[in-house]
Amino acid sequence: MFFNWGYRANLEIHQSTDENSVELPRKNNEGTLKFSKFISDFPEVDPSKKLYLNPWLFNGIFQTLYYSSADSSHRFQIYYGREIFKYHDGGICSLDFVIPEPESKEDFQKIYKETLPEGWPRLMPRSRFFTEEELSVSQKHDQDSTKPICVVIHGLAGGSHEPLIRNLAENLTRGEDEGKWDVVVINSRGCCRTKITSAYLFTALSTDDIKEVVIELRKRYPKRPIYAAGFSFGAAVLGRYLSTDHAAQEIKASTLIGCPWDLNDSSRHISSSWSGKYLFNPAVSSFLVKLISNNFKELHEGLPDVFSKENMKEARSFKRTVQIDDTFTSQALGFKNAEEYYTFASPQNVLDKIKTPTLILNSTDDPTVGVKLPIEQIEKNPYLCLVKTDLGGHLAWAQSGGKFWSVECVEKFFDKFEEVY
């Protein structure tokens, strides 16, 4: 896979047959339409056509490096209003809602300074906390609105600041049908300048974190359709949540982008190449060690045997995420080691339980997550469609001009789904 070079990617569609595909009710009582038929009429994933990517980014390594390191500070100028959401276990996440571009940047900065809690880390650019007045409005139950809302779950070291997420937010909220969508990003425990207030990290088993947010959104907006998009590790968490009865009832449609289906295979995969061993794995590991270090007091108070000073000292030399999961994550969750945690938590284990129409994108030249895709399991589930490409890297699929094909797919899939069903 690392020797697969080029810029004209091939697409393969894997889904159940037309005979077995799920029938979904169309809008306005216009009968039903099979999910497989919906996909076959979706031009963005037409396997008879080539997907043209940036010719300078001619393999998965360059695609991934571009996505993870390119300067996108002057693109996707999305503004967020932040709300702190408290989980039942005492932990918190930050809900970043897309808000209109402010008329006055000076007023935006003034509110930013006034609303930033004491001792809170500086937020990412174009983000601020909501005022108390704004929160009282946003948290008020809206019994009538039917405006769709997209819930985004980021990757292991990500957040609302990521270019792919900002690009998606921009396309959905400021596209041709501006104002048609709302977007909220769940910045998980410790991520995107969010504090940790309990002894739990963002893990592959954090499905209740999504569930609790969706329950709150449903209380506020009883008639609004809820869509969900998961990227990378966030796709793994979302995939597991989608296997629950709650998701089947509440999530209208979803997308899983760059999902690590087998966490053990992904752990081996990222360590099997030069780029994984020396670039991607150390970068993610460094972020996670810093996250634990910055929140060590709270973690140590909750689980002193796991988040001990001895373990923290050892962690400063970690270069692989499996070392962090061996020492911290697996132990905090009650597993013997990372392998046992990965085996239990891999989203491929629950594919047969998903009952939400879901578009899946994976590239077989992804240098960071395993590329042994669960094709047979996906084809047996009438709610799933996998689009497999042979070029695109991890999350990127970067095209000339800086566009991300994956974002175009997600946006148009959600738009079309909301139009038809």
The residues carrying an active-site annotation are 232, 366, 394
3-state secondary structure of 97: strand
Query: Which letter, b or e, does each residue of 123-136 get, where b requires 16 or more Cβ atoms within 10 Å of its Cβ?
Result: bbebbbbbeeebee
Cα dist from 392 to 60, 167, 209, whole Å: 6, 17, 30
Residue spans of beta strands (DSSP E) within 258-396: 358-363, 384-389
- Both tokens of 184, joined, read 């909220």
H or E segment and range at residue 396: none
Bridge-based pairing of strands 384-389 and 358-363 is: parallel
Q: Which of 89, 153, 84 is nearest to 333 (CA)?
A: 89
> What is d(CA 94, CA 200) in angstroms, rounded to the nearest whole number?
15
What is the DSSP-derived secondary structure letter of residue 123?
P
> What is d(CA 236, CA 154) in angstroms, rounded to the nearest whole number?
10
Q: Which of 254, 256, 224, 251 is nearest to 363 (CA)?
A: 256
3-state secondary structure of 200: coil
- Both tokens of 370, joined, read 């395993």
Q: Do 129 and 81 form a contact (C-beta atoms < 8 A)?
A: yes
Angle between helices 338-345 and 263-270 (to 10 degrees): 130
Q: Do 165 and 176 form a contact (C-beta atoms < 8 A)?
A: no
Neighbours of 372 (CB within 10 A): 12
> What is d(CA 44, CA 11) in angstroms, rounded to the nearest whole number?
10
The set of residues, in sequence order, having a beta carbon less than 8 Å from that of 129 and lying 6+ positions away, is 81, 82, 83, 84, 112, 115, 116, 117, 123
